[in-house]
Amino acid sequence: MRARTWMNAAVSACVVLVASACGPEESQGDADTKPSRPSASTGAKEPSVTPSASAPAKKPSATPPGDRPAPKTKQGAIRRYEQYLHALGREDIDTVCEVAGPAAKKAEEEGVGPCTSTYVTVFKMISPAQKKALRTATVDPQRVLVRTPAKIEMPVAAVRSTATFSESDLGSYTLEYLKKDWYITD
């Protein structure tokens, strides 16, 4: 039970950190971790020479095909959140940090740390069974709350998977439509 509470706190902190460390507006406070991260502008996958928290081998896959704007709909938000859940299960730090960018930036400003190092900790706290379940998790549209056309609440109860997740495991998130796509902001 204690591990789940810690994981939820770490996941929440990582979400905020991921956004700030992986987003286009990078601060100078975590410059020591950024040189080893591949640039988001490169399209090819770069192999990781030495596995580390700040040198992911995978490139962001969160951008819609063809760089088209994501639909500003409930279904568009659900697709984006499912993308985040699947990336969390695959330990795809680039995608996780891309989707959770705004929330991660807030967390980093509050002193939690950069997204990449925070989520590496979160990945270690998720059990293999939970990771496997997250890779194919879906969202029940009936449980999603539309606050405004640009703000959607994703309660943990909406997540459908082969594993059970609670607030202390995964938590609930707010997605907002920003810069032509959905991002986790809280």
Q: What is the pLDDT of residues 113-157, one digit of tens each?
A: 899 888 888 899 899 999 999 999 999 999 999 999 999 999 999
pLDDT computed for residue 14 by the predictor: 40
Q: Is residue 59 part of a domain?
A: no
Q: Is residue 16 part of a domain?
A: yes
State yes or no: pLDDT of 171 exceeds 50. Answer: yes
Residue 67, SS3 per DSSP: helix
179: alpha, beta or left? (left if phi > 0; alpha if psi -120 to 50):
left
State yes or no: pLDDT of 48 exceeds 90. Answer: no
Terminal CA-CA length for the chain: 24
Domain extent for 77: 2-25+70-184
Helical H segments across the chain, by residue range: 2-22, 74-90, 93-99, 101-109, 115-125, 128-135
Question: Which residue would you say has higher pLDDT here, 2 or 172?
Answer: 172
pLDDT computed for residue 166 by the predictor: 87
Q: Is residue 41 part of a domain?
A: no
Look at the block and give the residue holding tokens 């994981």: 7
The confidence band for 34, taking pLDDT boundaries of 50, 70 and 90, is very low
State yes or no: pLDDT of 6 exceeds 60. Answer: no
State yes or no: pLDDT of 178 exceeds 90. Answer: yes
CA distance 77 to 30: 30
State yes or no: pLDDT of 95 exceeds 80. Answer: yes
The confidence band for 13, taking pLDDT boundaries of 50, 70 and 90, is very low
Q: Is residue 86 part of a domain?
A: yes
Question: Which residue would you say has higher pLDDT here, 33 or 185?
Answer: 185
Record the tokens describing residue 93, joined without a space.
């730090």
Total Cβ atoms within 10 A of residue 116: 27
The confidence band for 65, taking pLDDT boundaries of 50, 70 and 90, is low
pTM above 0.85, yes or no: no
β-bridge partners, 183: 176
Q: Is residue 30 part of a domain?
A: no
pLDDT computed for residue 66 by the predictor: 55
Structural domains of the chain, count: 1
Q: Is residue 55 part of a domain?
A: no
State yes or no: pLDDT of 43 exceeds 80. Answer: no
pLDDT computed for residue 119 by the predictor: 85
Total Cβ atoms within 10 A of residue 39: 8
Q: Is residue 179 part of a domain?
A: yes
CA distance 114 to 54: 9
| Average pLDDT rounded to a whole number, residues 173-184 | 96
State yes or no: pLDDT of 3 exceeds 90. Answer: no
Record the tokens describing residue 30, joined without a space.
């975590």
Please give the share of the chain, as a percent, with pLDDT higher than 90.
48
